[in-house]
Protein backbone atom coordinates (compact mmCIF):
# COMPACT_ATOMS: atom_id res chain seq x y z
CA UNK A 1 0.00 0.00 0.00
CA UNK A 2 2.71 2.49 1.08
CA UNK A 3 4.79 1.40 -1.94
CA UNK A 4 1.84 2.20 -4.21
CA UNK A 5 1.50 5.69 -2.70
CA UNK A 6 5.24 6.41 -3.06
CA UNK A 7 5.30 5.07 -6.63
CA UNK A 8 2.34 7.31 -7.53
CA UNK A 9 4.06 10.30 -5.96
CA UNK A 10 7.38 9.57 -7.64
CA UNK A 11 5.85 8.87 -11.05
CA UNK A 12 5.04 12.58 -11.46
CA UNK A 13 8.76 12.72 -12.34
CA UNK A 14 8.47 10.04 -15.04
CA UNK A 15 10.70 11.01 -18.00
CA UNK A 16 11.97 14.03 -16.03
CA UNK A 17 15.31 14.47 -14.34
CA UNK A 18 15.08 15.55 -10.73
CA UNK A 19 17.29 18.60 -10.32
CA UNK A 20 17.71 18.27 -6.56
CA UNK A 21 16.99 15.78 -3.78
CA UNK A 22 13.47 16.50 -2.55
CA UNK A 23 10.96 14.82 -0.23
CA UNK A 24 9.68 12.50 -2.96
CA UNK A 25 13.23 11.33 -3.66
CA UNK A 26 13.87 10.60 0.02
CA UNK A 27 10.57 8.71 0.33
CA UNK A 28 11.38 6.72 -2.82
CA UNK A 29 14.84 5.84 -1.62
CA UNK A 30 14.52 5.40 2.17
CA UNK A 31 10.89 4.27 2.56
CA UNK A 32 9.92 2.57 -0.72
CA UNK A 33 13.38 1.06 -1.21
CA UNK A 34 14.46 1.11 2.44
CA UNK A 35 15.86 -2.41 2.74
CA UNK A 36 17.64 -2.17 -0.61
CA UNK A 37 19.12 1.20 0.40
CA UNK A 38 20.25 -0.19 3.74
CA UNK A 39 21.91 -3.16 1.99
CA UNK A 40 23.73 -0.84 -0.45
CA UNK A 41 24.92 1.51 2.26
CA UNK A 42 26.16 -1.19 4.62
CA UNK A 43 27.63 -3.73 2.16
CA UNK A 44 31.42 -3.58 1.89
CA UNK A 45 32.74 -2.70 -1.58
CA UNK A 46 34.23 -5.85 -3.11
CA UNK A 47 35.62 -4.58 -6.42
CA UNK A 48 38.39 -1.96 -6.49
CA UNK A 49 37.10 0.03 -9.50
CA UNK A 50 33.48 0.33 -8.36
CA UNK A 51 33.81 3.69 -6.56
CA UNK A 52 35.50 5.52 -9.45
CA UNK A 53 33.12 4.11 -12.08
CA UNK A 54 30.04 4.95 -10.03
CA UNK A 55 31.39 8.45 -9.40
CA UNK A 56 31.77 9.07 -13.14
CA UNK A 57 28.24 7.77 -13.63
CA UNK A 58 26.97 10.13 -10.91
CA UNK A 59 28.76 13.16 -12.37
CA UNK A 60 28.20 12.54 -16.08
CA UNK A 61 25.20 10.18 -16.23
CA UNK A 62 27.26 7.88 -18.45
CA UNK A 63 30.42 5.81 -18.31
CA UNK A 64 31.94 3.93 -21.25
CA UNK A 65 34.82 1.47 -21.47
CA UNK A 66 35.93 -2.06 -22.24
CA UNK A 67 33.78 -4.77 -20.66
CA UNK A 68 36.73 -5.99 -18.60
CA UNK A 69 36.34 -2.88 -16.41
CA UNK A 70 32.74 -3.65 -15.48
CA UNK A 71 32.56 -7.45 -15.25
CA UNK A 72 34.12 -10.20 -13.15
CA UNK A 73 36.29 -12.79 -14.91
CA UNK A 74 33.32 -15.13 -14.90
CA UNK A 75 31.23 -12.31 -16.44
CA UNK A 76 33.77 -11.92 -19.24
CA UNK A 77 33.52 -15.65 -20.00
CA UNK A 78 29.71 -15.38 -20.02
CA UNK A 79 29.92 -12.42 -22.38
CA UNK A 80 32.09 -14.44 -24.76
CA UNK A 81 29.54 -17.25 -24.72
CA UNK A 82 26.60 -14.85 -25.20
CA UNK A 83 28.41 -13.13 -28.08
CA UNK A 84 29.04 -16.45 -29.81
CA UNK A 85 25.39 -17.48 -29.49
CA UNK A 86 23.93 -14.13 -30.56
CA UNK A 87 26.23 -13.60 -33.53
CA UNK A 88 25.24 -17.07 -34.67
CA UNK A 89 21.57 -15.98 -34.55
CA UNK A 90 22.44 -12.76 -36.43
CA UNK A 91 23.89 -14.84 -39.30
CA UNK A 92 20.77 -16.99 -39.68
CA UNK A 93 18.90 -16.83 -43.00
CA UNK A 94 15.70 -15.45 -41.44
CA UNK A 95 17.60 -12.57 -39.80
CA UNK A 96 19.61 -11.84 -42.95
CA UNK A 97 16.35 -11.82 -44.94
CA UNK A 98 14.98 -9.04 -42.71
CA UNK A 99 18.18 -6.99 -43.12
CA UNK A 100 18.10 -7.51 -46.89
CA UNK A 101 14.40 -6.65 -47.12
CA UNK A 102 13.38 -10.07 -48.45
CA UNK A 103 11.60 -11.40 -45.33
CA UNK A 104 7.94 -12.36 -45.37
CA UNK A 105 7.59 -12.83 -41.58
CA UNK A 106 7.97 -9.37 -40.01
CA UNK A 107 6.80 -10.25 -36.48
CA UNK A 108 10.29 -10.00 -34.91
CA UNK A 109 11.18 -6.58 -36.22
CA UNK A 110 10.44 -2.92 -35.41
CA UNK A 111 11.40 -1.51 -38.83
CA UNK A 112 15.00 -0.86 -37.85
CA UNK A 113 15.60 -3.39 -35.07
CA UNK A 114 15.57 -7.19 -34.84
CA UNK A 115 15.32 -8.94 -31.49
CA UNK A 116 18.01 -11.61 -31.46
CA UNK A 117 16.51 -13.15 -28.34
CA UNK A 118 12.86 -13.15 -27.33
CA UNK A 119 11.69 -13.63 -23.76
CA UNK A 120 7.92 -13.30 -24.21
CA UNK A 121 7.52 -16.82 -22.84
CA UNK A 122 9.90 -16.06 -19.98
CA UNK A 123 13.61 -15.70 -19.39
CA UNK A 124 14.98 -19.17 -18.52
CA UNK A 125 16.66 -19.18 -15.10
CA UNK A 126 19.86 -20.67 -16.53
CA UNK A 127 20.07 -18.32 -19.55
CA UNK A 128 23.52 -16.90 -20.26
CA UNK A 129 22.11 -13.35 -20.52
CA UNK A 130 20.52 -13.61 -17.08
CA UNK A 131 23.80 -14.82 -15.59
CA UNK A 132 25.61 -11.94 -17.29
CA UNK A 133 23.03 -9.36 -16.14
CA UNK A 134 23.51 -10.56 -12.57
CA UNK A 135 27.30 -10.27 -12.65
CA UNK A 136 28.23 -9.24 -9.09
CA UNK A 137 30.68 -6.52 -10.15
CA UNK A 138 28.18 -4.96 -12.55
CA UNK A 139 25.50 -5.09 -9.84
CA UNK A 140 27.87 -3.47 -7.35
CA UNK A 141 28.52 -0.56 -9.75
CA UNK A 142 24.81 -0.09 -10.47
CA UNK A 143 24.04 -0.29 -6.76
CA UNK A 144 26.67 2.28 -5.89
CA UNK A 145 25.19 4.69 -8.46
CA UNK A 146 21.54 4.17 -7.52
CA UNK A 147 22.29 4.12 -3.81
CA UNK A 148 20.30 0.91 -3.44
CA UNK A 149 20.50 -2.73 -4.43
CA UNK A 150 18.90 -2.78 -7.90
CA UNK A 151 16.20 -4.86 -9.57
CA UNK A 152 16.90 -6.28 -12.97
CA UNK A 153 14.05 -4.93 -15.11
CA UNK A 154 14.73 -6.32 -18.58
CA UNK A 155 17.22 -8.11 -20.79
CA UNK A 156 17.52 -7.81 -24.57
CA UNK A 157 19.73 -8.46 -27.58
CA UNK A 158 19.25 -6.37 -30.72
CA UNK A 159 20.46 -5.99 -34.22
CA UNK A 160 19.95 -2.52 -35.74
CA UNK A 161 20.12 -2.16 -39.50
CA UNK A 162 19.90 0.74 -41.98
CA UNK A 163 16.55 1.85 -43.36
CA UNK A 164 15.54 4.69 -45.65
CA UNK A 165 13.00 6.00 -43.16
CA UNK A 166 13.56 9.15 -41.12
CA UNK A 167 14.69 8.71 -37.51
CA UNK A 168 11.85 7.38 -35.36
CA UNK A 169 11.17 6.19 -31.80
CA UNK A 170 14.43 5.49 -29.93
CA UNK A 171 16.39 7.03 -32.81
CA UNK A 172 15.10 10.45 -31.67
CA UNK A 173 16.24 12.14 -28.45
CA UNK A 174 14.19 10.97 -25.49
CA UNK A 175 14.20 10.13 -21.79
CA UNK A 176 13.30 6.67 -20.49
CA UNK A 177 10.24 6.19 -18.26
CA UNK A 178 11.00 3.25 -15.97
CA UNK A 179 11.92 4.92 -12.66
CA UNK A 180 13.15 8.00 -10.76
CA UNK A 181 16.74 6.85 -11.36
CA UNK A 182 17.83 3.88 -13.44
CA UNK A 183 20.77 2.35 -15.25
CA UNK A 184 20.73 0.96 -18.77
CA UNK A 185 23.65 -1.13 -19.93
CA UNK A 186 24.62 -1.64 -23.57
CA UNK A 187 27.34 -4.06 -24.62
CA UNK A 188 28.36 -3.91 -28.27
CA UNK A 189 28.93 -7.30 -29.86
CA UNK A 190 30.43 -5.83 -33.01
CA UNK A 191 32.62 -2.78 -33.66
CA UNK A 192 30.48 0.37 -33.70
CA UNK A 193 31.61 3.39 -35.71
CA UNK A 194 29.82 6.61 -36.68
CA UNK A 195 27.97 4.73 -39.45
CA UNK A 196 26.70 1.89 -37.25
CA UNK A 197 24.24 3.93 -35.18
CA UNK A 198 26.19 4.51 -31.97
CA UNK A 199 24.34 5.13 -28.73
CA UNK A 200 24.53 8.90 -28.12
CA UNK A 201 23.98 10.68 -24.82
CA UNK A 202 23.90 14.22 -23.50
CA UNK A 203 26.07 14.11 -20.38
CA UNK A 204 24.78 15.63 -17.16
CA UNK A 205 21.10 15.68 -18.22
CA UNK A 206 20.45 12.76 -15.84
CA UNK A 207 18.80 13.19 -12.40
CA UNK A 208 20.86 15.61 -10.29
CA UNK A 209 23.17 16.20 -13.27
CA UNK A 210 24.58 19.71 -13.78
CA UNK A 211 22.59 20.14 -17.02
CA UNK A 212 19.32 18.77 -15.62
CA UNK A 213 17.95 22.29 -15.08
CA UNK A 214 18.76 23.41 -18.66
CA UNK A 215 17.25 20.21 -20.08
CA UNK A 216 13.94 21.00 -18.36
CA UNK A 217 13.17 23.31 -21.24
CA UNK A 218 12.18 20.28 -23.35
CA UNK A 219 10.27 18.53 -20.60
CA UNK A 220 6.92 18.61 -22.42
CA UNK A 221 8.28 17.04 -25.60
CA UNK A 222 8.54 13.25 -25.72
CA UNK A 223 10.93 12.89 -28.67
CA UNK A 224 13.18 15.44 -30.32
CA UNK A 225 15.14 15.55 -33.59
CA UNK A 226 18.82 16.61 -33.68
CA UNK A 227 18.00 20.09 -35.03
CA UNK A 228 15.96 20.91 -31.95
CA UNK A 229 18.36 19.33 -29.47
CA UNK A 230 21.37 21.18 -30.81
CA UNK A 231 19.73 24.51 -30.02
CA UNK A 232 20.11 23.63 -26.36
CA UNK A 233 23.10 21.27 -26.42
CA UNK A 234 25.64 21.69 -29.27
CA UNK A 235 26.79 18.45 -30.92
CA UNK A 236 30.29 18.92 -29.47
CA UNK A 237 28.78 18.23 -26.06
CA UNK A 238 27.16 14.92 -27.13
CA UNK A 239 28.83 11.69 -26.06
CA UNK A 240 28.82 9.57 -29.23
CA UNK A 241 29.61 6.05 -28.06
CA UNK A 242 31.62 4.49 -30.85
CA UNK A 243 33.92 1.65 -29.88
CA UNK A 244 35.16 -1.85 -30.61
CA UNK A 245 33.20 -5.01 -29.87
CA UNK A 246 32.71 -5.50 -26.11
CA UNK A 247 32.62 -1.77 -25.42
CA UNK A 248 30.26 -1.37 -22.52
CA UNK A 249 28.08 1.65 -21.78
CA UNK A 250 26.33 2.32 -18.48
CA UNK A 251 23.97 5.29 -18.55
CA UNK A 252 21.11 6.73 -16.56
CA UNK A 253 18.83 6.97 -19.58
CA UNK A 254 16.52 9.42 -17.89
CA UNK A 255 19.21 11.70 -19.31
CA UNK A 256 18.68 12.56 -22.99
CA UNK A 257 19.85 9.90 -25.42
CA UNK A 258 19.18 8.41 -28.80
CA UNK A 259 20.73 5.77 -30.98
CA UNK A 260 20.55 2.86 -33.27
CA UNK A 261 20.26 4.42 -36.76
CA UNK A 262 22.98 2.78 -38.80
CA UNK A 263 23.67 4.18 -42.25
CA UNK A 264 26.03 1.36 -43.18
CA UNK A 265 26.47 -2.17 -41.86
CA UNK A 266 24.62 -3.05 -38.69
CA UNK A 267 24.97 -2.94 -34.93
CA UNK A 268 24.51 -5.86 -32.54
CA UNK A 269 24.27 -5.40 -28.81
CA UNK A 270 23.10 -6.76 -25.50
CA UNK A 271 21.09 -4.49 -23.24
CA UNK A 272 20.05 -4.67 -19.57
CA UNK A 273 17.88 -2.27 -17.56
CA UNK A 274 18.10 -1.91 -13.77
CA UNK A 275 15.60 0.00 -11.64
CA UNK A 276 14.60 0.27 -8.01
CA UNK A 277 11.82 -1.92 -6.58
CA UNK A 278 9.29 0.82 -7.44
CA UNK A 279 9.39 0.80 -11.21
CA UNK A 280 6.80 3.05 -12.84
CA UNK A 281 6.14 0.54 -15.62
CA UNK A 282 5.36 -3.19 -15.57
CA UNK A 283 8.36 -5.48 -15.95
CA UNK A 284 8.27 -6.71 -19.54
CA UNK A 285 9.43 -10.26 -18.75
CA UNK A 286 9.72 -12.81 -15.97
CA UNK A 287 12.26 -15.42 -14.98
CA UNK A 288 11.03 -19.00 -15.38
CA UNK A 289 12.60 -21.72 -13.26
CA UNK A 290 14.97 -21.57 -10.29
CA UNK A 291 18.26 -19.69 -10.68
CA UNK A 292 20.02 -22.17 -8.37
CA UNK A 293 23.44 -20.83 -9.44
CA UNK A 294 22.88 -17.49 -7.64
CA UNK A 295 25.62 -17.13 -5.01
CA UNK A 296 25.53 -13.55 -3.67
CA UNK A 297 22.63 -11.79 -1.88
CA UNK A 298 22.89 -8.80 -4.28
CA UNK A 299 22.16 -11.21 -7.17
CA UNK A 300 19.19 -12.67 -5.34
CA UNK A 301 17.79 -9.16 -4.73
CA UNK A 302 18.37 -8.21 -8.36
CA UNK A 303 16.47 -11.26 -9.64
CA UNK A 304 13.56 -10.92 -7.21
CA UNK A 305 11.27 -8.65 -9.22
CA UNK A 306 11.52 -10.73 -12.40
CA UNK A 307 11.03 -13.95 -10.43
CA UNK A 308 7.85 -12.53 -8.92
CA UNK A 309 6.58 -11.00 -12.19
CA UNK A 310 3.34 -12.48 -13.44
CA UNK A 311 3.10 -14.09 -16.87
CA UNK A 312 1.79 -11.62 -19.46
CA UNK A 313 -1.97 -11.68 -19.95
CA UNK A 314 -2.96 -13.84 -22.94
CA UNK A 315 -3.51 -11.77 -26.06
CA UNK A 316 -7.22 -11.20 -26.76
CA UNK A 317 -8.56 -13.09 -29.73
CA UNK A 318 -9.89 -10.86 -32.47
CA UNK A 319 -13.65 -11.17 -32.96
CA UNK A 320 -14.39 -12.80 -36.25
O1 LIG B 1 19.55 2.06 -29.69
C2 LIG B 1 20.14 2.77 -28.90
O3 LIG B 1 21.34 2.99 -28.96
C4 LIG B 1 19.37 3.46 -27.81
C5 LIG B 1 18.19 2.70 -27.34
C6 LIG B 1 17.35 3.53 -26.46
O7 LIG B 1 17.15 4.68 -26.69
C8 LIG B 1 16.74 2.95 -25.28
O9 LIG B 1 16.93 1.75 -25.02
O10 LIG B 1 16.09 3.70 -24.54
**CATH code where residue 182 lies:** 2.60.120.620
**Which residue owns the Cα nearest ligand 1 atom 7?**
170
pLDDT at 320: 41
pLDDT in tens, 14-29: 999 999 999 999 999 9
Q: Is any atom of ligand 1 closer than 6 Å to the C-beta of 170?
A: yes
Mean pLDDT of all residues in 148-169: 95
What's the pTM?
Answer: 0.95
Going from the Cα of 257 to the center of ligand 1, the distance in angstroms, rounded, reads: 7
Q: What is the rounded distance in angstroms from the CA atom of residue 166 to the CA atom of residue 160?
A: 14
Please name the residue whose Cα sits nearest to atom 2 of ligand 1: 259
Closest CA to 252 of 166, 116, 141: 141
Looking at residue 317, what is its pLDDT?
A: 58
Over the stretch 160-209, which tens digit does the pLDDT of each residue have? 999 999 999 999 999 999 999 999 999 999 999 999 999 999 999 999 99
Task: Please name the residue whose Cα sits nearest to atom 8 of ligand 1.
Answer: 170
- Ligand 1 center to 124 CA (angstroms): 24
Q: Going by CA atoms, what residue is nearest to atom 9 of ligand 1?
A: 170
Give the whole-angstrom CA distance, residue 291 versus residue 50: 25
CA-derived radius of gyration, the chain: 19
Q: What percent of the chain has pLDDT over 90?
A: 87
Contact, 276 vs 180, CB < 8 A?
Answer: yes
Domain of 189? Answer: 2-308
The percent of residues above 70 in pLDDT, for the chain, comes to 95
Query: Among 156, 158, 201, 253, which is best to mutate for testing ligand 1, by the most ligand atoms less than 8 A from CB?
Result: 253
- Does residue 206 fall inside a structural domain? yes
Count of CB atoms within 10 A of residue 169's CB?
13
**C-alpha 245 to ligand 1 mean position (Å):** 17
Ligand 1 centroid – CA 200 distance (Å): 9
User: Would the CB of 260 count as within 6 Å of ligand 1?
Assistant: yes
**Which ligand 1 atom minimizes the distance to the CA of 184?**
9
- Residue 316 within a domain: no
User: Could you give the number of structural domains in the chain?
Assistant: 1
| Range scoring the smallest mean pLDDT among 118-122, 124-128, 203-207 | 118-122
Atom of ligand 1 lying closest to residue 186 CA:
3
Q: Is 98 helix (H, G, I), strand (E, B) or coil?
A: helix
Q: Is residue 20 part of a domain?
A: yes
The predicted structure's pLDDT at residue 114: 95
In this structure, is residue 313 part of a structural domain? no
Segment 23-44 mean pLDDT: 97
Give, for ligand 1, the residue of 64, 170, 271 to mutate: max count of ligand atoms closer than 8 Å to Cβ. 170
Residue 224 domain-assigned?
yes
- Assess if residue 286 is contained within a domain: yes
Q: Which atom of ligand 1 is nearest to the CA of 258?
A: 7
Q: Examine residue 148 and state whether it is found in any structural domain, yes or no.
A: yes
- Cα-to-centroid distance, 260 and ligand 1 (Å): 7
* Residue to mutate, 61, 154, 184, ligand 1, most ligand atoms under 8 Å from C-beta: 184
Q: Which residue has the higher pLDDT, 213 or 106?
A: 213
Across the chain, mean pLDDT equals: 94
Measured in degrees and rounded to the nearest 5, phi and psi for residue 172 equal -100, 160
Query: CB count, 10 Å around CB of 55?
Result: 13
50 lines ligand 1 (CB under 6 A): no
Q: Is 32 in the pocket of ligand 1 (CB under 6 A)?
A: no
Residue minimizing CA distance to atom 4 of ligand 1? 259
| Helix/strand/coil for 65 | strand
Please write the tens of the pLDDT for every residue from 202-260: 999 999 999 999 988 888 888 999 999 999 999 999 999 999 999 999 999 999 999 87
Examine the pLDDT at 319 and tell me if it is beyond 60.
no
Q: Ligand 1 centroid to 176 CA: how many Å? A: 9
Q: Is 264 within a domain?
A: yes
pLDDT of residue 110: 58
Query: In this structure, are residues 192 and 270 in contact, taking their beta carbons and an 8 Å threshold?
Result: no
How far, in Å, is the centroid of ligand 1 from the Cα of 198?
Answer: 9
Ligand 1 contacts CB of residue 257 (under 6 A): yes
Amino acid sequence: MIDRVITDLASQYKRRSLTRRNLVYYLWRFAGNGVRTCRAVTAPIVYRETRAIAETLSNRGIVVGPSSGFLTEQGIRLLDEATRQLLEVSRRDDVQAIINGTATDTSRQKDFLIHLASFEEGLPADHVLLKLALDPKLLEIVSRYLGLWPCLHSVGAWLNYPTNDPAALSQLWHRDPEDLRLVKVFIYLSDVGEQSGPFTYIPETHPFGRAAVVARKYEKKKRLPDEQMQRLFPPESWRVCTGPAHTMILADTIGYHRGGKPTEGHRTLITFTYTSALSFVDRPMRIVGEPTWIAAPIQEYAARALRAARPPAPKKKKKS
